Amino acid sequence: MFDKLKAMTAMAGLLKNQDQIKGAIERVAQRLAQARVTGEAGGGAVRVTMSGKMDVVDVALAPALAAGLGDEPTRQRAEFMIAEAMTLAQTRARHLAREVINREAGALGLPALPDDLGGVL
């Protein structure tokens, strides 16, 4: 019983601070859009750079790995296709996560999340 009261009090506090929350969400979205993280595999043979919003920014294949792909345009197409496939998978994962979260939120009587979580994702 007390847990429910605590949750209701927390929700009431959030509703009072909507403008502050909206500003915080906008700041987070901006920081994530500007952030860059890099992951490497195969001892650096494959490098993927993403934004903090989980968008693929760059894919790089080491020359030794790309040698089997033929010429430079073929390597660039392969990098582009890898980035495109990763981005599509991440987009689908974000949509799935939003659906699952919204289902749970609805069951709790909470509003659904905005499509892009206020620009955060």
Tell which wins on pLDDT, 58 or 113.
58
pLDDT digits (tens, 9 = 90+) for 77-100: 888 888 888 888 888 877 777 788
**Three-class SS state of 55:** coil
pLDDT digits (tens, 9 = 90+) for 13-68: 666 777 777 787 788 888 888 989 888 888 888 888 988 888 888 888 888 877 87
pTM greater than the 0.85 cutoff: no
Question: In the predicted model, is pLDDT for residue 101 greater than 60?
Answer: yes
**Identity (one letter) of the amino acid at 17?**
N
| Residue ranges per structural domain of the chain | 35-110
Residues in CB range of 36: below 8 A, 6 or more apart: 49, 50, 51, 52, 57
* CA dist., res. 47 & res. 83, Å (int): 11
Q: Which CATH number fits domain 35-110: 3.30.420, 3.30.1310, 2.60.40, 2.40.50?
A: 3.30.1310
Question: In the predicted model, is pLDDT for residue 12 greater than 60?
Answer: yes
